[in-house]
Structure 1
Amino acid sequence: MSVKKYLLTTLCSVISYGAFAQSDITENEIAAHISFLASKKMAGRFPGTRENKKTVDYLIKNFRRAGIKPFGSSYIQEFSAKIRVKKGVTDTPIVKTQNVIAFIEGNDPALKQEYIVLGAHYDHLGMGGPSSKKPDTVGVHLGADDNASGTAALLEIAEKLQANKKDLKRSVLLIAFGAEEQGLLGSKYFVEHPVIPLSTIKLMMNMDMVGRMNGEKNLYMGGAASFNGGMELMNSLGPQIGIKPIVIAYDVGGSDHVSFFKKNISVLGFHTGGHPQYHTPEDDFAHINVPGEKLVCDYIYKAIFSVANREGAVSFIPEKK
């Protein structure tokens, strides 16, 4: 489908979306979320900016629309983020930003006290800066794949989980992390200031750059051996969805799930691979494989349901070195 046609269907989706929240994962809603989050008017979703606040408001609005409650009295967990600067610069800004946390309670009297965390970071690089692959270019770094794609997946999977929550045994915590690009700051803050005991988190699943599935329909994931039965489960789900998962035992990578892994929590870090547009202004909606992202969402949804409804324990397995 052409980009023009996607944008047209996206507009139709946005217009109709206000009337009801769909109970299934759809390409139109994925496209609507990414095209909004990665638009020029969102200015790269930089921490501490007006556009960061707009993104937080957008996330909360979509959680509310789907009937997904906050954990406690507020969706927002505020923290201070130290902004990365170029080498030699001593004036380091500190800004206020937020994690956005929502909650779907399980139904098993005992197992609902255990949690699966599904996360994605929503921030990006703003106008560029030291983390840009074009550090001398001042221009909006749109961040369509990194990580509007993961944020869209979080919203879509959350919506379907909410629609089917009566079948969930364990509870699910949904976290959109702020300031990941500044050094995993949102997830670091969360694990140091958790809203639930860390011991109750049985698996953290993180989506960072899931919008560029290749022609072989590969989905990469690290950490599958960090919980019992993980390798077997993640391999078995591929044929059900029609993708070829690249299931990696550990090699947990450099995104927000690392903060959880360092606390001895099992993790899965999902991505669809690197590309030349990474951390440049060219990471735009036109490069997103929307049908591929829907497959990613379907796969992760099945994985969550499988782990959330497992009768036996979900146990952390440390890497042997």
Structure 2
Amino acid sequence: MQIKICLLMAVCSAIGFGAVAQTDVTEKEILGHISFLASPKMAGRFPGTKENKKVVSYLIKDFKKAGIKPVNGSYVQEFIAKIRVKKGVTDTPRVKTQNVVGFIEGSDPVLKHEFIVLGAHYDHLGMGGPSSKKPDTVGIHLGADDNASGTAALLEIAEKLSANRKDLKRSVLIIAFGAEEQGLLGSKYFVEHPLIPLSAIKLMLNMDMVGRMNAEKQLYMGGAASFDGGMDLMKSLGPQVGINPIVIAYDVGGSDHVSFYKKNISVLGFHTGGHPQYHTPEDDIAHINIAGEKLVCDYIYKAIVSVASREGAISFVPEKKD
């Protein structure tokens, strides 16, 4: 299904939102987003809950503010998520949840029909459950790093991309995935029910736990060799931003970009490393490196602009296994 764009509405929207969207990523806004998403009031952003729905409304509001357009008239892609339960439990709940999807149109009349996807999951574990590292503890799992950090980065990078859309030849699809913690369900649903042809997606960049940059300023990424020129590009961007990228050829990991990689789409999966607070109630905002996350955002922004503005084709390169 192709995206239908009303020119008049697009022009009006650009006029209406252009003065609001900021042209740069700010630590203040990163902090604001994570403070909201990882607050106790959001109760761990569990799929199907009223708090999860509040997050969806928050994301849509921010998309609109940044001038990010809906896809086929809607920002919401609803799906049913099967909730994980403890081993031996046979009554498996199913709840309605959502992906939040918008796009920024590229400026090139031909290349704008190709897409770069920027994604992050916004859900977390709620009060704990079988995926918690403290499964017998009932307490709000705030999920500041996992993945309020990635969601905040998604919103900030998307806002800057929208404000500087003239620099993009290709279009950018922005997706906040639901139910990732239940088994990558939001991204699996998207690739099985794509809102644009999968053949039009040339690269998917995913951010999952990008809020704990260490003193060495390391940012890890898997999949850099899955598109032509990816390894050299991602290494070259590090000095420009002032970080030390750990560029991994494949080893694409276990987050939402895997759903795209299984469809033979090039991917980059970003994270700043594991920590003892992972999947516990202690993953709170006090542990987040806000200045470090801004560097992550700056790096990924440069990567998107570079790939989205490339004149030549972007080709998927499968891993060669012995």
Q: Same fold (TM over 0.5)?
A: yes
d(CA) in 1 for partners of 2:23, 2:302: 15
> Does 170-179 or 21-30 show the bigger shift?
21-30
Query: What is the CA–CA distance in structure 2 between the aligned matches of 1:223 and 1:168, rounded to whole Å?
Result: 22
Q: Give a deviation string over 1:17-37, Cα, whole Å, max 9, x none.
A: xx9432210000000000100
Instruction: Give the deviation of 1:71 after TM superposition.
Output: 1.1
Pair 1:131 & 2:138 matched: no
Cα deviation, residue 293, structure 1: 0.1
> For residues 249-279 of structure 1, what are the alpha-carbon distances to aligned partners after superposition, in whole Å with 9 as ceiling and x for unaligned?
0000000000000000000000000000000
What CA deviation, in whole Å up to 9, does each residue of 1:20-61 have, x standing for no partner? 432210000000000100000000000000001000000000
2:213 counterpart of 1:205: no
Q: Normalising by the residue count of structure 1, what TM-score does the alignment of the two structures yield?
A: 0.94
Q: Does 1:300 align with 2:300?
A: yes
Residue 91 of structure 2 corresponds to: 91
**1:172 deviation in Å?**
0.2
User: How many percent of aligned residue pairs carry the same amino acid?
Assistant: 84
**Separation in 1, partners of 2:68, 2:262:** 29
1-structure distance, mates of 2:172, 2:151: 16
Give the distance between the partners of 1:232 and 1:22, measured in 2 at CA: 30
SS in 1 for 2:139: coil
Cα deviation digits, residues 91-132 of structure 1 (max 9, x gap): 000000000001000011110010000000000000000000
- Per-residue CA shift, 1:111-155, capped at 9, x if unaligned? 001000000000000000000000000000000000000000000
C-alpha separation in 2, matches of 1:268 and 1:242: 19
Count of residues in Structure 1 that have an aligned counterpart in Structure 2? 303
Corresponding position of 1:10: none
Mapping of residues 103-118 of structure 1, within 5 Å: 103-118=103-118
Rounded to whole Å, the distance in 1 between the matches of 2:212 and 2:246 is 15
Does 1:148 pair with 2:167?
Answer: no
TM-superposed CA distance for 1:166, in Å, is 1.3
The within-5 A match list for 1:5-154 is: 20-154=20-154
Measure how far apart 1:65 and its partner are: 0.8
Q: How does 1:258-297 map to 2 (within 5 A)?
A: 258-297=258-297
In structure 1, runs of 5+ residues without a counterpart are 1-18
Q: CA separation in 1, counterparts of 2:68 and 2:203?
A: 20
In the superposition, the TM-score normalised over structure 2's length comes to 0.93
- 3-state DSSP of counterpart to 1:251: coil
Which whole-Å CA distance do the structure 2 matches of 1:158 and 1:115 have between them? 14
- Report SS of the residue matched to 1:133: coil
| 1:176-215 matches, cutoff 5 A | 176-215=176-215
Structure 2 SS opposite 1:154? helix
Letter in 2 for 1:82: K
- Distance in 1 of aligned mates of 2:21 and 2:171: 21
Whole-angstrom distance in 1 between the partners of 2:240 and 2:256: 28
Does structure 1 conserve the Cα–Cα contact (< 8 Å) formed by 2:210 and 2:271? yes
CA distance in 1, matches of 2:215, 2:236: 20
| Contact 2:21/2:162 (8 A) holds in 1 | no
In 2, Cα distance between equivalents of 1:114 and 1:121: 23
In 2: Cα distance, 1:142 partner to 1:213 partner: 19
Cα RMSD after superposing both structures: 0.7
The AA in structure 2 aligned to 1:37 is L
Query: Deviations 1:187-225 (Å, cap 9, x if unpaired)?
Result: 000000000110110000000000000000000000000
* Matching residue's letter, 2:274: G
Distance 2:37 2:125 in 1: 13
Deviations 1:295-320 (A, max 9, x none): 00000000000000001110000001
State the distance in 2 between where 1:23 and 1:71 align: 23
Aligned equivalents of 2:23, 2:88: Cα separation in 1: 51
Q: CA deviation at 1:67?
A: 1.3
1:114 counterpart letter in structure 2: E
Counterparts in 2 of 1:224-239, with a 5 A limit?
224-239=224-239
Please give the alpha-carbon distance, in whole angstroms, between the structure 2 residues aligned to 1:227 and 1:310: 12
Structure 2 residue matching 1:116: 3-state secondary structure: strand
Q: Which residue of 2 aligns with 1:159?
A: 159
Counterpart-to-counterpart distance in 2, 1:145 and 1:168 = 29
